[in-house]
Structure 1
């Protein structure tokens, strides 16, 4: 009996050693650094999407890198460690799209001692009152990329929370039979540590955390930049707006008909490609989360070319300003537990 127990123990130790040795040296070093850094936490998690947003955030000079461990590289992403206005932060650029957003968020929550997540970037406006250059702090997002494309004569059942009839957009309207049929938008399966294990809830809206949203309402009225430089300026003074609904999908919307469909059918005010995933991943794991998005374009509602390339850097600049101010408003990390 003792021999069998000893043999089992040796086999277990051997398997652990094999797993450890099979882990790349660079990853083992990164995980070791993270363990040391986590003793100084919790940190505020910051997640943005692509290079222009990152450039604007780092150019603000509000982020002060940790002098010993300014960054940790994991799975091809660089997690930057430092402080913003005296508060410890972990920052990462996740990459465009739903899968990148989920992967980066889950990795941050699993490995770093974070108190919550601030997700920020740029987006397209779906309503005329939400002007290009404004910064939106939405209350909820729907994942509008989860849909079923039905046959031309298919029936859209009650299991879909919205549907798009392609034939309604024929030009001239009603001309002929459009074989593209219908699209039925499905609710998402949401797994959460607060729910029953392995039993998802069907949800349409992913909500930001109420306590952090309440803090964000104090940002209304803050001053934003109207000009990026001497040649790139907005026609109006931008402002922070609170409480909108957003649409998240792996779709860059630059089509006026689809823009109107999303706005009228779902009552959403902005479209982008990551926020619902960051919210659902954070909430599922029990962490507070807020989204801050600058409006870079009219998502197809504009005359002429899309303005995202020209005005994206200015929208990103103003978004970074709002993020930094929000971090300033957060209480010290000792009080973070009260905000969950």
Structure 2
């Protein structure tokens, strides 16, 4: 009987301990209520001073080039806001109100940071910039491309070798065509597929199949004058490019979570899709903006030509980033005051 009484009191005690432990665990892994309230109050204060131009770059080299060459006047009251591990800087450039963030490499990071910027801040559009690989032989390292269309070239259907090609894909890469000597290959064929675009202008839960995402025509027209601007040709006194770099507006770009350093694949992308640059974020930023109905422009400096000797991104990446920053600043000048 004593044993039963002991268990009778022991089980409720264990239940209380377990529930208390779960409560402590949950409290330790989620942001505090007071922190959330503080952030929400700060966001409201920041947005009262908007709307802002959203600026999204990718990694440290691009950020250093941009922040090192710009007169970024940080907001004296709220110079930055840290959200989800990223620092959003708030201030003015050339008298224009801006919110700037470094998103991190890859399409998931790019889409997440862009959506967060659109959701949290009062922005009137996104300027996305960084460096990219050159896919077009008529372009040169150091040039800056401002594309009119961008595709996700990493959305694949990898087909079995014996499967016939259908009409559901945009284009096909037959791996066997690159055998030496040519012949069949067990890797088969890659079919390039469409994105599914959910947008504020579309029907609910009825995505539109798209291959190209268009950047904003009005902003492209504003950027057209940038083709006249002077860009840097030298990293330092002993390292210069053979040709003077230029800005080109209105080409096409490809994005995938792939660093392209292969000449055969570079030629395939150019011949098949007519793209002039390749990067790992632009289409994700552009698609997120298109989905939400926000203006978007992409500005990318070319740092290397895939598959040509030693990849030059380490030599000329900083120069490409600096030329990109110069183009971004000139574009910001052209935007109207809010």
CA distance in 2, matches of 1:118, 1:230: 32
Matches within 5 A, 1:13-28: 23-24=31-32, 25-28=34-37
Aligned to 2:333: 328
Aligned to 1:29: 38
Q: Does 1:103 align with 2:112?
A: yes
Q: Does 1:310 align with 2:315?
A: yes
Matches within 5 A, 1:1-340: 23-24=31-32, 25-174=34-183, 177-300=184-307, 302=308, 304-333=309-338
- Conserved in 2, the CA contact under 8 Å of 1:120 and 1:291? yes
Aligned length: 311
What secondary structure does 1:281 align onto? Answer: helix
What secondary structure does 2:63 align onto? Answer: helix
What secondary structure does 1:220 align onto? Answer: helix
TM-score by length of 1: 0.89
What secondary structure does 2:298 align onto? Answer: strand
CA distance in 2, matches of 1:90, 1:60: 17
Structure 1 residue 28: Cα displacement: 3.6
Which whole-Å deviations, capped at 9, do the CAs of 1:254-273 have from their partners, x for residues lacking one? 00111011000111111001
Aligned to 1:338: none
Unaligned runs of 5+ in 1: 1-17, 334-340
What secondary structure does 2:108 align onto? Answer: helix
CA RMSD of aligned residues (A): 1.5
CA distance in 2, matches of 1:196, 1:239: 41
CA distance in 2, matches of 1:250, 1:118: 20
Which whole-Å deviations, capped at 9, do the CAs of 1:165-222 have from their partners, x for residues lacking one? 0000001223xx3111000111110000001111000000000011111111111110
Which whole-Å deviations, capped at 9, do the CAs of 1:232-255 have from their partners, x for residues lacking one? 321111010111101110000000
CA distance in 2, matches of 1:23, 1:150: 45
Moved over 4 A (4+): none
Which whole-Å deviations, capped at 9, do the CAs of 1:83-127 have from their partners, x for residues lacking one? 110111000000111100100000000000001000000000111
Larger radius of gyration: 2
- Conserved in 2, the CA contact under 8 Å of 1:123 and 1:271? yes
Structure 1 residue 30: Cα displacement: 2.7
Structure 1 residue 154: Cα displacement: 1.6
